[in-house]
Amino acid sequence: MSPSAVHDAVASVNDPEYPDVSIVDLGLLVSIDVDEANRSATVDLVPTFTGCPALAMIAGDVEAAVLTVEGIDSASVSWRRDVVWDTDRMSFAAKRRLATDYTVTLRRKDGTLRCPVCGSDAVTDQSMAGPSRCRSVAWCPSCRNPVEVMRA
Ligand SMILES: [Zn+2]
């Protein structure tokens, strides 16, 4: 058993909202602590959006994945409230995947939005009641597409 095997196991878990995007690519992983003597691993994650109903599912998936690593008999997952997730934690690949596969965009630091379909900067917020509690809906007047905005 090696710590990198545990990391690989965590990285194999995809976000339930985006079934082909790893939670590691989304920047959810804070730290992994492997105790080889006790054959246990502790995984610290940061939620993208506090209260996101997918959190329990993600924690369960991570636990199950870590338990498949040879030499690990117990796994625990905790959500860190002292770490703030922001879009800088996401990998470039994850951002691009969200844009192309899910038309999800991320709010820039200055609050503006860029359309993932046509690249327009004219995207306007529509409603805070999005398809899930983790996303809200915006509208691009240039290409007339609805755009989902990932909440941070
Ligand atoms: Zn557009």
Q: What local confidence, expressed as pLDDT, does residue 85 receive?
A: 86
Residue 65 CA, ligand 1 centroid: distance in Å: 38
- What's at 124, amino acid-wise? T
User: How much distance in Å is there from the Cα of 52 to the middle of ligand 1?
Assistant: 27
Please indicate, yes or no, whether residues 11 and 62 belong to a single structural domain of this protein. Answer: yes
CB atoms within 5 A of ion ligand 1 belong to 115, 117-118, 120, 140, 142-143
* Per-residue confidence (pLDDT) for residue 50, from 0 to 100: 52
Q: In what order do the strands lie in the sheet with 74-79?
A: 29-35, 40-45, 74-79
Q: What is the DSSP string of 8-40?
A: HHHHTPEETTEEEEETTTTT-EEEEEEETTTTE
pLDDT at 108: 82
Q: Is residue 97 part of a domain?
A: no
Look at the chain and report how many structural domains it folds into: 2
Does 68 fall in a domain?
A: yes
Task: Tell me the residue range of the domain where 140 lies.
Answer: 103-150
Predicted confidence at residue 136, as pLDDT, reads: 81
pLDDT tens string for the chain (152 positions)?
677 999 999 999 998 888 889 999 999 999 999 999 999 999 999 987 655 678 889 999 999 999 999 999 999 999 998 998 888 899 999 999 988 888 888 888 888 899 998 999 999 888 666 556 667 889 999 999 889 887 66
Q: Is 88 contained in some domain?
A: no
Distance CA 42, CA 133 (A): 27
Among the three residues 79, 94, 127, which one is the final residue of a domain in this structure? 79
98 Cβ neighbours under 8 A, 6+ residues apart: 18, 21, 104, 105, 106, 116, 150
Q: Could you tell me if 75 and 139 lie in one domain?
A: no
Structure tokens at 124: 């306007």
Alpha helices by DSSP H, listed for 82-138, are: 92-102
Residue 93 lies in a domain: no
Does one domain contain both 28 and 68?
yes
pLDDT of residue 43: 98
Give me the CATH number covering residue 52. 3.30.300.130
Instruction: Name the domain boundary from 16, 46, 79.
Output: 79
pLDDT for res 25? 94
